[in-house]
Amino acid sequence: MRLIIADDEGPARARLRGLVEEIGGVEVVADAGNGRQALLLCDELHPDVVLLDIRMPGMDGMEAARHMAGLEPAPAVIFTTAYSEHALAAFDAHAIDYLLKPVRKARLAQALAKAQRLTSVQLGAVARAAEGTVRHRTHISARHGGRIKLVEVTDVDYFQAGDKYVSVHYGGGELLIDEPLKALEEEFSQRFVRIHRGILAARDMITGLEKDSQGHYHVLLKDRHRLPVSRRHVSALRALVRAGRIGT
Amino acid sequence: MHLHDFVPASLHWSQRLGRAPGLVRTLRYLQCKTPNSKPGTGLCAPEPPRGSGSPKLSPISSDNPGRPPLQPGARSAGVKTPNGLPTMIVPNEHRPEGLYLPDFCNLRMVLAMVVAAELLAYVLSLSSAPGGAGRRWDGLIMTSLFVQWVALASIALLCACRRLMEGWRDTTTTTLYSFGLVLAVTVVVSEAAYWGGAYLGLFPMGEGGWHGGFLIRNLTISAIVTTVALRYFYVQFQLKKNIQAEAYARIQALQARVRPHFLFNSMNTIASLTRSDPALAEEVVEDLADLFRVNLADARTRVPLEEELALTRRYLHIEQLRLGARLTIEEHTSDAPRDAAIPMLTIQPLVENAVYHGIEPLPQGGVVRLEARRDGDGNIVITVANPQPPAEVIRRPGNRLALDNLRQRLGVHFGGRATLTVDDTTGRYVATLALPYEKAGS
């Protein structure tokens, strides 16, 4: 079995590596210091198992696991955490396993054995069941040319629904994802506002609201882009502009 | 996945810390069951009532042999966390004030009342019956019979009314109701005794005849004894409530002061270093021990500034090992008087906050700057600065709580003369603590 260890603390990584080596039969292919790094390494190295710390800076373990579920093949995720909090109680039904730090060698061996027994089909099912345990992602992930591509949510200007996919427009270009706009709106309601039946725009990207000669409304983005506004969203947008929540 | 795999670590760490001697003593008080279960302390209340939300504390030995001590309240109160683990003792917040009476339905309580009633009968017969031993003996039997009837009937009625009383919020209603109930019982039993005695030809109290006098005398004794008993129950209840509240407050204070994540991560660091660098592991254990010693000490203690700074460095030593290059520490404290008196745990929590909220959430880490100096007015000024994570990073909860806790303690020590201010407008988070300069030990 090939394994990646993700933990933001050096001593914690060193200890896990030591334990794994003692258990044997497992090869540690990489170390990661945060969730984002772990995810990119998974995409590159296709490990069978990831030991994933839940609390990590940047992208945390929960979110990384959610993105990992979309990988092909998906690795078996074993969470490690120093202290179980309530979120974990809700989560434990879906996790392959989770270990409390300092991790016991016997428990680690047991978890690794369990991961080995699971087929990738089962893993996918577990990972899908785990979706929804993360409240707000910090990144949007999509497959692009066979590789995983990550975009920080803060870089996204707007989401636009197309025929089959939703396109993510961000500073560096455009990306297609397979998620309904409705779900995105719910997850990122703090950051994005619905301006059109098929468009979610970042609040802090909007600089103003304007009306053209035919009576159609548009929002102006910071990068001078103009996006159409549907009639039914005009009054809500006006209220936001007036409240100073957008258009600064 | 078996729940019991996680139980040990999932128990709140303060439950373990509960093994500190002071806390054990406090909790032991809570476990007392009957007045005679712990002679000498005078603190053990009678069997606590069975009211909802009131932890019915049972002796660990008989009731739950398999459990470690010090979780009796949690278990018996039936309070469970979502994952089925016992929680800490919760004070009787929900128990109505009016329900200060013990549970008279409890057999042990009935027994205690029978004994008390018998003692009362003995006192009454001693005081009222002059003459020979035989007559006194007769008097005791008759008085006992009478008093026991009154006591048992009252207990039975109070037991039956318990449901009703649970709904009452104020003490007065309960008191008046119980008082009236006992007096009514006294009247009924007196009447029965009077007419029964007259019918059988033996007058109960051995004294001659006026019906009204007999009734008034019984009612007076009954009223006095009931008043004393109710007062006793009330004081017991208050005492017990205070002890519980105190224990709870103390546990909460402990929880607020040490973050479980820090404890377990430190343990993990030690576990790791034990393999790679045993000497360093030893140092970390020593640092951790010092931190906990101080955390368990009386929070009112003042120490020289030097000592608090040393403790802060111990804490940072542990964090440095854990976070590695992500944590950079800048310390400028040489200008401050080393001997300034400062409440224990004032700087360390600020630095812990800085690491927890400012460094840990950042993948690249940052600088924590600690400064101590004297200002123009001679005050000691301590500042702790850390990077402010961007708004997109989910802010960790608990900052306000730690600061409020600290402010409260500063208020206790210095009144209004110490201030703790926070400035987060510059992109960095800067906490500034200003205290009057008082020499330690004076």
Minimum Cα–Cα distance from A191: chain B residue: B392
Using 50, 70 and 90 to split pLDDT, how confident is the model at B252?
A: low
Strands B419-423 and B366-374: unpaired
The pLDDT tens digits for B131-165 are 666 667 777 888 888 899 999 999 999 888 887 77
The pLDDT tens digits for B385-416 are 999 887 655 566 666 777 877 887 787 778 78
Question: Residues B65-89: what's their mean pLDDT?
Answer: 36
Using 50, 70 and 90 to split pLDDT, how confident is the model at B97?
A: low
Q: Encoding tokens for residue B173? A: 């209603």
Return the top range by mean pLDDT from A81-85, A168-172, B56-60, B193-197.
A168-172
Residues B264, A34: C-beta atoms closer than 8 Å? no
Does position B27 have pLDDT exceeding 70, yes or no?
Answer: no
Side chain identity, residue B63? D
Residue B227 or residue B426, greater confidence: B227
CA atoms of B130 and B127, how far apart (whole Å): 8
What average pLDDT does chain B have?
A: 75
Q: Encoding tokens for residue B89? A: 């003792």
Q: Closest Cα of chain A to B87: distance in Å?
A: 13
Q: Closest Cα of chain B to A225: distance in Å?
A: 24
> Which residues of A touch chain B, with CB atoms under 8 Å apart?
8-12, 14-15, 18, 33-34, 36, 55, 57-58, 82-84, 86, 89-90, 92, 95, 97, 100-103, 107, 136, 138, 152-154
CA atoms of B357 and B360, how far apart (whole Å): 6
The pLDDT tens digits for A59-80 are 888 888 888 877 878 888 888 8
ipTM: 0.70
What pLDDT shows up at residue A128? Answer: 58
Low-confidence ranges of chain A (pLDDT < 50): 86, 89-90, 92-93
Could you say which DSSP state residue B131 is in?
S
Residues B1, A92: C-beta atoms closer than 8 Å? yes
Which residues from chain B sit within 8 angstroms of residue A8, using beta carbons? 323, 326, 360, 363
Q: B395 in contact with A at a CB cutoff of 8 Å?
A: no
What pLDDT shows up at residue B253? Answer: 66
Instruction: Name which of A7, A8, A79 to mutate to probe chain B: the one with the most chain B Cβ atoms within 10 A of its Cβ.
Output: A8
Q: Encoding tokens for residue B237? A: 């209840």
Instruction: Name which of B6, B263, B268 to mutate to probe chain A: the one with the most chain A Cβ atoms within 10 A of its Cβ.
Output: B268
Using 50, 70 and 90 to split pLDDT, how confident is the model at B58?
A: very low
Q: B304 in contact with A at a CB cutoff of 8 Å?
A: no
What pLDDT shows up at residue B250? Answer: 64
Minimum Cα–Cα distance from B275: chain A residue: A15
What pLDDT shows up at residue B33? Answer: 35
What pLDDT shows up at residue A125? Answer: 60
CA atoms of A109 and B343, how far apart (whole Å): 47
Residues A101, B272: C-beta atoms closer than 8 Å? no
Instruction: Name which of B269, B280, B285 to mutate to probe chain A: the one with the most chain A Cβ atoms within 10 A of its Cβ.
Output: B269
Does position B376 have pLDDT exceeding 80, yes or no?
Answer: yes
CA atoms of A131 and A146, how far apart (whole Å): 22
The pLDDT tens digits for B292-319 are 888 877 766 789 999 999 999 999 999 9
Q: B69 in contact with A at a CB cutoff of 8 Å?
A: no
Does position B434 have pLDDT exceeding 90, yes or no?
Answer: yes
Minimum Cα–Cα distance from B267: chain A residue: A102
Q: Encoding tokens for residue A243? A: 């409240």
Does position B51 have pLDDT exceeding 50, yes or no?
Answer: no
CA atoms of B331 and B385, how far apart (whole Å): 11
Question: Residues B33-38: what's their mean pLDDT?
Answer: 38
Residues A34, B362: C-beta atoms closer than 8 Å? no
Minimum Cα–Cα distance from B269: chain A residue: A11
Side chain identity, residue B392? E
Percentage of residues of chain B with pLDDT beyond 90: 32
Give the one of B261, B322, B360 whose C-beta lies nearest to A83's C-beta: B261
